[in-house]
Amino acid sequence: MDNRINGVLITAEGPEEAILRFRDEIIRQAPPASNIKDLTLSEIPVRGYREFTIAPSTTEGSLITEISPDIAVCSECLADMDSDPSRIDYPLVNCTNCGPRFTIIENLPYDRSSTSMRGFSMCPKCSREYHDITDRRFHAQPVACNNCGPLYSLESGDGIITGIRNILNELSGIIDSGGSVALKGQGGYHLLCNALDPAAVRQLRIRKRRDQKPFAVMFRDMDTIEEYCHVSDNDKKELASWRRPVVILDQKKTMPGEINSRLGTIGAILPYMPVHYLIFRVVHTPALVFTSGNISEEPVIKDDEAARKILMPVTGNLISYNRDIVNRADDSVIREIAGTHRFIRRARGYVPSPVDLSFSAEGILATGAELKNCFCIGKGQQAIMSQHIGDLKNISAYNFFRETAERFRKLFLFEPSLVACDMHPDYLSSQYAASLSGQKKIPLVKVQHHHAHIASCMAEYNLKGKVIGISFDGTGYGTDGNIWGGEFLVADENEFVRYSHFDYVPMPGGDKAAGEPWRMAFSYLYKYRGGNFSPSETKAFIGIPARNLDIAGEMIAKGINSPLTSAAGRLFDAVSAMLGLCINASFDSEAPMRLEAAAAKNIKDHYPFRISDVVDFSPAIDAIINDISLKEISYISGMFHNTVAKASLEIARRIREEEGINRVVLSGGVFQNRYLLEKLTELLSADGFGVFSNRLVPANDGGIALGQLYVASEKNKICA
């Protein structure tokens, strides 16, 4: 057997019948985390082999074999922590079927010498296992034990503690007494505290500078998750999978409101590292806050020195091990919507598994958007998405972006021949692309933001030709210079026409309006009612000084820092503020999330609206204002969601009648709203439309690079 960068070459000798049986057994007995894409047989001369050997790895080939994501610890390794003398309580136990992969690899081929394990020499026992074909640790690159592998230590103001049992005893006391710790994981640090202790959660939230954004919760086991959350069979399957994502679940049993800001959902995750299981053996709580080890808006910290500097002041306690994390990767987050689990964030456990394509994307680098950035590289007919990078406005995230782009170039033997980016000239991802294009003298393709959203979903489903594209999000640079985000497109993989959109309204204060939803409520009322509306008609302005309202009105009237927007996200902001659900947001998308959480699910009707060249929601706004003093918030929210879905159906019908297109593609961050996506999918399907929505990449800007890649590939084909 020969391990190469473009796959595995097996030379086997024997009767044809035996060879075919061997081939079938490879497929049938493949490890759970494996994914055999292609298996071909070629006849060669007999060489008279007498034993099984693995030849030294080679760098032959220009294509690369897929690099495995990190894999949750398997049940056999968990058993080893109780039975294998050299691995009793070993917190980094692993085998061929589990353990770190992407987060420790530096170069291909995937050998120990190309990982951050290269500095750890195997003890005789581990070496025997590593070289024994019958052992499940045969050629497991991170193989290690208490005698030869990386070890944990606990650092606090009182000094450093070593020995896993000493560490666990100290940790138990910290957690049980309301303290918190920073714990080094597979792709970065996490912050932990007792999730059932409101004071502990509140203290961690304050120290981390994370005002209201929900925390993920690691539960001891599936039974505990089912005690606190509603869990479908599909949810159970994902929670217990080797990928171990955070799964957004509806809350069943009361937990401290400090966990999820009373949004009614819990981001639940099961243990996936051996150390997590060891921790739950000693702490008395069945649930731990399990949030990214960073300061708000910055990338997850992976380096020990940075953790000491930044996280020690937050928790006072740091638990780390002496092996480097090469590739940082935050936890992935998914949610079941319309019967399918969708990505909110795609990272650990999924990256760098590629998205298979129906077209060649070789040599294309797509740099993604500014917010929730992920970039993408093309290798043959595969798109390799980066892990979640974050918001590039933050300098740490931008440095992470550049560092990871360089890492992918080396790791995947990638040399860009074309670069694609967003049309927005001020996005750092676009500026990076323009600079790279100039340096390497390669073509630059600029792709409109919402076209890229639609194209990302088309690429997932291998769709070609015209589709009805409905793209709803909070922002995106439009071809007319305005801010788009409530868009109805006639699009294909190469170009688009904007058929209709939500009515433009000003954003008083520019970007500030996205964080202060009362501004958008003011703008909608100002547009639809002029200067004659009374602030007391809604709950949007409770606590807002009258002077601020006057300034907002003056900004709109004089066109000062009030860009026009058609964004669906800003409409959701406005309605959320009008209902008093979120007047000033403390985290991204808080207003729409609270509006969705409040919506009654049994509402069948909708508010009125008008469709001309644009979609005019002024009748709906009037009806909402009339209902505020008469109806429950849950009723109004349900009616509003239905209104947006019904208006979208009507536009889709018009396009079908005029263009003869029956395929509808839904993409953009607003479609992470479960109520809206399920309602609109239901309406469109009942009307005979074929409906497509993102499932392999996030519908938010984390998936936009895939769409840029698809459009750039087509444009390059036309220009070639």
| 266 and 228 Cβ atoms separated by less than 8 Å | yes
The rounded mean pLDDT for the chain is 93
To the nearest 10 degrees (0 to 180), the angle between helices 618-627 and 568-578 is: 20
**Mean of the pLDDT values across residues 291-315?**
94
All structural domains of the chain, each given as residue ranges with its CATH number in brackets, are 2-58 (no CATH), 152-321 (3.90.870.10), 505-643 (1.10.357.160)
Q: 335-388 pLDDT, tens per residue?
A: 999 999 999 999 999 999 999 999 999 999 999 999 999 999 999 999 999 999
Residue 154 has pLDDT above 70, yes or no: yes
CA atoms of 690 and 662, how far apart (whole Å): 6
Q: 637-657 pLDDT, tens per residue?
A: 999 999 999 999 999 999 999
User: What's this model's pTM, rounded to 2 decimal places?
Assistant: 0.93
Residue 343: how many other CB atoms lie within 10 Å: 24
CA atoms of 474 and 700, how far apart (whole Å): 10
pLDDT of amino acid 24: 57
**Mean of the pLDDT values across residues 600-609?**
96
pLDDT of amino acid 625: 96
DSSP state for residue 311 in the 8-state scheme: T
Output the CA angle 623-627-630, nearest 5 degrees: 155
pLDDT of amino acid 317: 97
**Mean of the pLDDT values across residues 591-599?**
97
Residue labelled with tokens 């005002």: 211
pLDDT of amino acid 15: 67
| 644 and 596 Cβ atoms separated by less than 8 Å | no
Residue 631 has pLDDT above 80, yes or no: yes
Taking Cα atoms as reference points, which of 288, 290, 297 lies closest to residue 209? 297
Q: 316-336 pLDDT, tens per residue?
A: 999 999 999 999 999 999 999
pLDDT of amino acid 109: 86
Output the CA angle 380-385-386, nearest 5 degrees: 130
CA atoms of 169 and 167, how far apart (whole Å): 5
**Mean of the pLDDT values across residues 200-229?**
93
Of 208-217, 477-486, 521-530, 662-671, which range is least confident? 208-217
pLDDT band at 164, cuts 50/70/90?
Answer: very high
**DSSP E strands, 277-361:** 287-292, 317-321, 333-337, 340-345, 355-356
| 649 and 642 Cβ atoms separated by less than 8 Å | no
For 530, list phi and psi in degrees, rounded to 5: 65, -155
| 447 and 476 Cβ atoms separated by less than 8 Å | no
Output the CA angle 210-213-218, nearest 5 degrees: 95
CB-count exposure of residue 221 (10 Å: 0-12, 13-18, 19+): middle
Is the bond preceding residue 69 a cis peptide, omega within 30 degrees?
no
Residue 102 has pLDDT above 70, yes or no: yes
pLDDT of amino acid 5: 45
Residue 474 has pLDDT above 70, yes or no: yes
pLDDT band at 59, cuts 50/70/90?
Answer: very low
Q: 578-593 pLDDT, tens per residue?
A: 999 999 999 999 999 9
The β-bridge partners of 422 are: 447
Beta strands at 265-269 and 333-337: parallel, antiparallel or unpaired: unpaired
Rg of the chain over Cα atoms, rounded to whole angstroms, equals 27
CA atoms of 253 and 126, how far apart (whole Å): 45
Residue 34 has pLDDT above 70, yes or no: no
DSSP state for residue 374 in the 8-state scheme: -
Residue 62 has pLDDT above 60, yes or no: no
Residue 566 has pLDDT above 90, yes or no: yes
pLDDT of amino acid 312: 96
CB-count exposure of residue 465 (10 Å: 0-12, 13-18, 19+): exposed
Q: 506-554 pLDDT, tens per residue?
A: 999 999 999 999 999 999 999 998 877 888 999 999 999 999 999 999 9
pLDDT of amino acid 603: 96
pLDDT of amino acid 64: 57
pLDDT band at 4, cuts 50/70/90?
Answer: very low
Residue 53 has pLDDT above 80, yes or no: no
Beta strands at 180-184 and 317-321: parallel, antiparallel or unpaired: parallel
Residue 452 DSSP SS3: helix
Structure tokens that stand for 106 in this block: 């530096």
CA atoms of 183 and 278, how far apart (whole Å): 13
pLDDT of amino acid 17: 66
Residue 236 has pLDDT above 60, yes or no: yes
- Between these two residues, 20 and 378, which has the higher pLDDT value? 378
pLDDT of amino acid 66: 76
Residue 29 has pLDDT above 50, yes or no: yes
Of 16-30, 59-73, 224-238, 706-720, which range is least confident? 16-30
Residue 695 has pLDDT above 50, yes or no: yes
pLDDT of amino acid 50: 60
Residue 130 has pLDDT above 60, yes or no: yes
Residue 568 has pLDDT above 60, yes or no: yes
| 505 and 564 Cβ atoms separated by less than 8 Å | yes
Residue 107 has pLDDT above 80, yes or no: yes
pLDDT band at 1, cuts 50/70/90?
Answer: very low
